Amino acid sequence: MSESLTKRATRRWRMGALLPLGAVLSGIAAAAEAPPAEGAGEEIVLKDVKVKAARDKKTGAYKADTASTGSKIAMPIRDIPQSVSVVKKELIQSQNAFNLRDALKNVSGLTIAAGEGGRTGDSITLRGFSANSDQYLDGVKENGQYSRDTFFLERAEVLKGASSILFGRGTTGGVINQIFKKPTGQNHVIGDFTYGTYDFKRSAIDAETAYDNVSARLNMMWQDSDSFRDYNYLNRWGIAPSFRFKISPDTELSANLLHQEEGGVFDYGVPIYRGKPADVPINRYYGFTDNQMQDTDVNVATVALSHRFNEALSVKNTVRYGDYDRNYLTHLFGAVNDTGLTSTVARTQALRANNQENLYNQTDFVFKKPILGFNNTVMFGAEFGWENYDFKSKNSTGVPSISIFNPVLTPSVGSGLATDFSGTLATDRYTETRTYAGYLMDQFELTPEWKLLAGVRYDVFSAAQNDRLNNANDFGRIDRQWNPRAGIVWQPTKAQSYYFSYGTSFNPSAEAYSLSEATNTLPPEKNRNFEIGAKYDLLDGKLSATAALFRLEKNNARTASPTNPDLTVLSGEQRTDGFELGLAGEILPRLDLSMTYAYLDAEVTRSNSTAVGTISGQTKSLQGMIPVNVPQHSGVTWLSYHLTDAWEIGGGVFYSSERHTDTVNEVTLPGYARLDAVLAYHQKHYDVQLNMFNLTDTVYYESGQTRSALPGAPLSGQLSMRVKF
């Protein structure tokens, strides 16, 4: 293992050396005298010419007017009868949000969780429901398990509520759609260089060029950093080229590739003690110092061909291949032996490897032609895809317990360490899934003020599981599901938009690549979302205000059978009632704002299932419990004020109320408010930016599980320089 890590580290450092360092100073302005005019005895006075090296200020930088996630085509957000949040690159850059999960903290109703069970990488809860498999890139599934960087992203769009008509299985709370940085036909080179506390080092390049009918763009990133957590580190590099070929005025071919590698430490933080994170220093590490491993290798290739037949009809076909390879040593906490200051916590360790391959082909037609004098847009198409998932796990033996308040770290677990997959395995499973789907949607304009959106999608989702350890666990099933969607939009003026929508989604038993004797005969869970909302443009369109009131419910959730607890039936219920508010844009001259707030009232309203509380030791019903990782209140406010054309100051507050991390609500992460700030100096050819995080040095916990909590970063800072050619 150590040799492999050394080779990976060497490749990362070589890659880092390819990213140039340097800066371009501001340019020199020069003026030339005008030649004397006829009748040269007269004195000529030239007007003063002011030359500014600072950047042209962009107002409303955080406000998005269009989105491509609420439909199959890019359309005005005001026309989408559903809540859509857009995190633009300007906000990502202002906050130095280098990870997608940090950028998504700006989205109302969305929280980040620690990985559940065998899952690692980005783990997301949206409107009270898991959205782990609901990640997309340019509208096509991209659901591998890894921590996503933002170096290749133009922005992130989040569609809220059940949305299987657009994206198929899952999508209960909504979807996260990443938008790739694509060629724009310009010529530029931008280099970003950052250094921060805990020896944080990062370089990135965004280069673009165009010639005749061909344009290309290249994004590259290298990062090497330690952590406020002891014995933690992160090495990451990535490359993301993209191309666009204009074959004819009506035909275009585009292609892009994402390659990202990462090495780090599997660390879920500190143990839970008496229902809360243990009162220990947030840097305290409880693992082993010489057998850490968490390696990820991701490759995602996409090719899209679009053609316009005429003014009314166009088509786009997209093919995507994804390969996600992850190898890691887990470190999980077990039961606590509560003896006060001498308390100990059990530990488990396993060597795990998961490889996932995706192949998707998606065809989308758009037909725009008035019907009976009414404007009309019909969208229809098909999707075909397969996903293969291979998962192995081997437990280490002889893993000792450790003191919670006075831990003594040991270098390894000796001969019990799982170093390969020979011998006895805990899991060895291979799952294949297949998706075949077709959809039809229509946006019909009754009048300029009234618009209707309706459609339906039909999915066939099949899964076959091969358990290499026990043939009795070889299962397969096929699910067939219709999912409708309907919405109405009323726009009495250009500034106002009000809507009501209804949408559905489904969760098949094999959604997460696993079937069991209890679930292989169960049809999908079904969900529905009712939503009413408003979108309002203020201050001559410089500021947008949004509000949404919704109910999201799962009316046939999996639960234990009332007659046989070993069986699973679809008779449970879970629902989330809530509302969201948002403001984005320029609220005063030179003052930009992004503000979101969500209130979530989530509850398991009916369940026969029970669980044993890790604190009380009592068996409790899940009915009446709040789902895992759902704060009742959460929100973000981020302000940016341009003191002059060159100087910018800003900051914001990230807020969350308390959350439960276990199913019977005995474990709680406390609520928190974190204050960040930014100071930037902008010039034509360079920017300098200072970001400060957690200015009040608040102790808080970003995520957690039943037995662990991951602390957030303490007071820290990063200094960045951006060079622009």
Is residue 649 in some structural domain?
yes
Is residue 15 in some structural domain?
no
Kindly state the percentage of the chain with pLDDT values over 90: 85
Residue 164 parent element (H or E): helix 164-167
Confidence of residue 41 (pLDDT cuts 50, 70, 90): very low
Confidence of residue 34 (pLDDT cuts 50, 70, 90): very low
Q: What is the pLDDT of residue 346?
A: 97
Q: How many domains does the chain have?
A: 1
Is residue 12 in some structural domain?
no
Q: What is the pLDDT of residue 132?
A: 85
Look at residue 366 and tell me whether its pLDDT is greater than 60.
yes
Look at residue 499 and tell me whether its pLDDT is greater than 90.
yes
| Strand blocks (E) in 683-715 | 686-693, 701-704, 708-711
pLDDT (mean) for 468-497: 97
Q: What is the pLDDT of residue 59?
A: 54
Q: What is the pLDDT of residue 581?
A: 97
Look at residue 626 and tell me whether its pLDDT is greater than 70.
yes
Confidence of residue 554 (pLDDT cuts 50, 70, 90): very high
pLDDT (mean) for 283-305: 95
Judge whether 178 and 137 are in contact, CB under 8 Å.
Answer: yes
Q: What is the pTM of this model?
A: 0.90
C-alpha–C-alpha distance, residues 585 and 545, integer Å: 9
Look at residue 477 and tell me whether its pLDDT is greater than 80.
yes
Burial class (CB in 10 A: 0-12, 13-18, 19+), 309: exposed
Judge whether 103 and 135 are in contact, CB under 8 Å.
Answer: no
pLDDT (mean) for 53-80: 80
Is residue 449 in some structural domain?
yes
C-alpha–C-alpha distance, residues 65 and 60, integer Å: 10
pLDDT (mean) for 433-459: 96
Torsions phi, psi for 367 (to 5 deg): -125, 115
Burial class (CB in 10 A: 0-12, 13-18, 19+), 538: middle
**What is each CA distance from 305 to 252, 472, 530, in whole angstroms?**
6, 45, 36
Is residue 525 in some structural domain?
yes
Which of 54-63, 336-345, 447-456, 655-664 is least confident? 54-63
Confidence of residue 372 (pLDDT cuts 50, 70, 90): confident
Look at residue 5 and tell me whether its pLDDT is greater than 50.
no
Look at residue 345 and tell me whether its pLDDT is greater than 70.
yes
**CA-based nearest residue to 132, from 88, 92, 172:** 172
- For the four alpha carbons of 84, 88, 91 and 95, in that order, the dihedral sign comes to positive
Q: What is the pLDDT of residue 567?
A: 83
Is residue 276 in some structural domain?
yes
pLDDT (mean) for 608-622: 95
Is residue 332 in some structural domain?
yes
Which of 68-72, 378-382, 491-495, 715-719 is least confident? 68-72
pLDDT (mean) for 420-442: 97
pLDDT (mean) for 526-537: 97
- Could you tell me which residues come within 8 angstroms of residue 501 by beta carbon, excluding any fewer than 6 positions away? 81, 82, 161, 453, 485, 486, 487, 488, 529, 530, 531, 532
Look at residue 711 and tell me whether its pLDDT is greater than 60.
yes
**CA-based nearest residue to 273, from 416, 403, 104, 411:** 403
Q: What is the pLDDT of residue 496?
A: 97
C-alpha–C-alpha distance, residues 259 and 242, integer Å: 12
Q: What is the pLDDT of residue 373?
A: 84
Q: What is the pLDDT of residue 45?
A: 41
Describe the strand order of the beta sheet including 110-113 as a list of residue ranges: 110-113, 123-126, 129-130
Confidence of residue 114 (pLDDT cuts 50, 70, 90): low
Tokens 């839970």 appear where? 272
Is residue 34 in some structural domain?
no
pLDDT (mean) for 532-538: 97
Q: What is the pLDDT of residue 112?
A: 84
Judge whether 285 and 229 are in contact, CB under 8 Å.
Answer: yes
Average pLDDT taken over every residue of the chain:
90
Q: What is the pLDDT of residue 11?
A: 40
Residue 648 parent element (H or E): strand 647-656
The β-bridge partners of 10 are none
Confidence of residue 32 (pLDDT cuts 50, 70, 90): very low
Q: What is the pLDDT of residue 120?
A: 57
How much of the chain is in helix, strand and coil states, percent to nearest 5? 5, 55, 40
Which tens digit of pLDDT belongs to each residue from 186-200? 999 999 999 999 999
Kindly state the percentage of the chain with pLDDT values over 70: 91
State the residue range of the domain holding 120: 60-353+360-367+374-724
Q: Helix, strand, or coil here: 91? A: helix
Highest mean pLDDT among 328-332, 355-359, 410-414, 517-521: 355-359
CATH number where 587 lies: 2.40.170.20
Look at residue 438 and tell me whether its pLDDT is greater than 90.
yes
pLDDT (mean) for 327-343: 96
Residue 450 parent element (H or E): strand 450-467
Q: What is the pLDDT of residue 121?
A: 61
**What is each CA distance from 42 to 39, 196, 549, 682, 701, in whole angstroms?**
7, 61, 73, 42, 76
Confidence of residue 8 (pLDDT cuts 50, 70, 90): very low
pLDDT (mean) for 370-397: 95
Torsions phi, psi for 139 (to 5 deg): 85, 0
